Amino acid sequence: MTSITVDLKAVEMGLPMCLVFTAHGYVAHVGRTLSKITDGRPGAKLADFLRILHPAVEMDTADILTHAGRRLKVELVGECNIPEGEERSSFRAVVAPLVDGGAFMNFWFGADPLGAIQRHRLTAQDFAAADPTVDLLFVLEANSLVLGEFEGLSKRLDMARAAAEEEAITDKLTGLRNRRAMDLHLDSLTRQTGAHFGLMHLDLDYFKSINDTLGHVAGDYVLEQVAGILREEVRRGDMVARVGGDEFMLIFEDCQDVDLLKGIAKRIIYRLEQPMIWQGETCRISGSIGITMSSFYDPPEAERLVADADEALYVSKRAGRGRPSVATPSQAA
């Protein structure tokens, strides 16, 4: 047999995961890709570099070469980047004798190439151009791009859905919740055992005259100012909803104190009666308020609460406007 001398760098172009070890069982050369995977270096004992799992062999060169040309199952003793508690990567290898008594071994990934490739951050440049692993990497990259697009699309759809849901329960002019949101929230509260809350129905007094004399743009301005006042007078977590042109509903959770709500209502009315200036024109309004409490009912029903708060509101209207009225226990019986 004719022997030839081959530059290992040339060999690595086609076999970057090669290993050369001596007749005495010492590592002589580690391929460029293999060197990224393991901390083993030339000069190390072969037994400290790798372990042949199948077939069972003694870790000396002579015994290993009895299996020349055979598919070997191998693990690298010094494999890098192994998370704690995780097994080493599985490799396959084939060994061939060299004329000086040493051996040449080439490796490839076993059953889970993707895990090992990702763990060691290998790219197409780490493999021979004709290695099918390169095709696998291109497929992975393509899949990653497609997955990224799907994830981005999914996020955009989620954001669009959330925006649509928010829009469906928000009053466009004031940014407050709308009637639908109020109905859903009130229905939810009445279904909760032991929930205590107060309901306040506000109707703006003298608002129609602003629309009639100054126009709807002025009216919209006043409604926006009213929304700001109501936001400032409730606690975080209480709901303020615009349920009609100049009507608002306020729901106060975890509240059993009707006197507290009467005080809040008087404060709201006081602030509403302060002059609002729009383009040099003075806008004057007030508010009539009806109040009821969930504790008046056993059990509370959403429709009845709304009806009684509405009735209390009209008690305020008939009494001269600009005041709060409370649905009495006899009304709520």
Show the DSSP H helices in 29-131 as ranges: 32-37, 46-49, 61-65, 113-119
* Cα–Cα dist 30/50, whole Å: 12
Cβ(227)–Cβ(249) under 8 Å? no
Q: Which of 200, 202, 203 is nearest to 293 (CA)?
A: 200
In the block, residue with structure tokens 């209390």:
312
Among 246, 254, 298, 308, the one annotated catalytic: 246
Q: Hey, is 287 helix, strand or coil?
A: strand
Alpha-carbon distances of 149 from 21, 91, 143, 144, 156, rounded to whole Å: 47, 33, 10, 9, 10
Please give the backbone phi and psi of residue 281, each rounded to the nearest 5 degrees, phi first: -95, 140
The SS3 assignment for 277 reads: strand
Active-site residue flag, 220 = no
Sequence-separated (6 or more) residues with CB below 8 Å from residue 194: none
User: Which H or E element spans position 203?
Assistant: strand 197-205
Contact 94, 105 (CB under 8 A): yes
At residue 67, φ and ψ (nearest 5 deg) are: -110, 25
Which of left, alpha, beta for 248 (phi over 0: left; psi -120 to 50: alpha)? beta
A 10 A CB-CB count for 260 gives 12
Any residues with CB less than 8 A from the CB of 105 and at least 6 apart, and which? 18, 19, 20, 21, 93, 94, 95, 96
Separation between Cα atoms, residue 241 and residue 293, nearest integer Å:
17
* Catalytic residue ranges: 246
